[in-house]
Structure 1
């Protein structure tokens, strides 16, 4: 019964839901007077999306793409065209954040590697005190350190590629 009523009201339930979400997002940027306010509104949208949707996180588009969208948005003559530009920007530029395979492999391999390293280090006389560190603290600490190292090395490599 609900599907019939929604079809009679002007479209599918999915399209009505998408229209509601885009209308809500558009209210964030509607009153932007300059590029900084527009970018802050875009960041607010992504912050609310990432905090309200459990498990899903979306990447914010680069500043250059936001700047281009703002320039197109600012040149638009009326509010309907501005809304269409904004909806197209969100549809084209919003991407789901995906974990790369190196990070996934590190997260899986780090705990057993940390346990093996701790067992091996317990036999070395110079670092025998590692026996005093409980496994409950050592394994998660080493896993977080490994993930931090992978993330930092990846960002440093991307910075070298960008320059």
Structure 2
């Protein structure tokens, strides 16, 4: 496995934006599937020892994913994502809000923009997360978003390695 893969994680508080760029030693189709299929997302998106459980997901423009991050003690932190744009295998965008277990949203939310490209078997993913308020961005940071995201990406690397062998 290639160890010198790019991973850049930048928080820009003045613009209320997080910029993430990550390379994966995997084909584009595998990385795309890992970001767009509930059964794969639930295998990597939560930092251990937390887990992810998707209640439902409809990956199409106007569709939604409603899921929870679940602590080892069973505490659920719900989020609702609405897909606003999809260009297969190259880009998708969504609007994300925290929610309760009944889908009642906590506003403000954030706009996520994912862009995918592949060169020589290495897939690069660019993610831009624009928060509607500085308070929301700071809440994400306080909740350990940076550390949790990095842990989740390690989970994804392991999943992609497994998927590539199939």
Q: TM-score range by the shorter chain?
A: under 0.3
Structure 1 length normalisation: TM-score? 0.25
* Greater helix share, structure number: 1
* Greater strand share, structure number: 2
